[in-house]
Amino acid sequence: MSSNSTSEQFTDRELDRIIEMAWEDRTTFDAIEFQFSLKEQEVIELMRRQMKPSSFRMWRERVQGRVTKHAALRNFEKGTFKSTRQKQITHNKISKR
């Protein structure tokens, strides 16, 4: 897949979603690949082309080495993260309706 054709194969809406997913801390590159068939390096190239240079540098600093962006580095298998400080909902009248 050539780098120029990568962005041309997606609609504007799909490009927006890829960029949004790439910015999200808990969305892995594996999830982007599963949904859009883009490998991590292709996402990086797409972000470089679609963003201003300063925004791209900020994004790269943010995601480079971030454990949550790489499924193999995560310390949990699947599901959502739950903070140990999150309160349990018990004896809640609303939840029992």
Q: Whole-angstrom Cα distance, residue 85 to residue 22?
A: 27
What is the per-residue pLDDT for 69? 73
pTM: 0.65
Angle in degrees, CA 41, 43, 48, rounded to 5 = 95
User: Is residue 77, in this structure, part of any structural domain at all?
Assistant: no
**Number of domains composing the chain:** 1
User: Is residue 38, in this structure, part of any structural domain at all?
Assistant: yes
Q: What is the largest CA-CA distance in the chain?
A: 57
User: Is residue 32, in this structure, part of any structural domain at all?
Assistant: yes
Residue 64's nearest CA partner among 21, 35, 22, 3 is: 22
**10-residue mean pLDDT series, the chain (97 residues):** 61 93 89 93 95 93 77 55 55 50
User: Is residue 81, in this structure, part of any structural domain at all?
Assistant: no
Q: Whole-angstrom Cα distance, residue 81 to residue 42?
A: 27
Neighbour tally for 69: CB within 10 Å: 23
Residue 38's domain comprises 3-72
What is the per-residue pLDDT for 54? 94
What is the per-residue pLDDT for 1? 42
What is the per-residue pLDDT for 2? 44
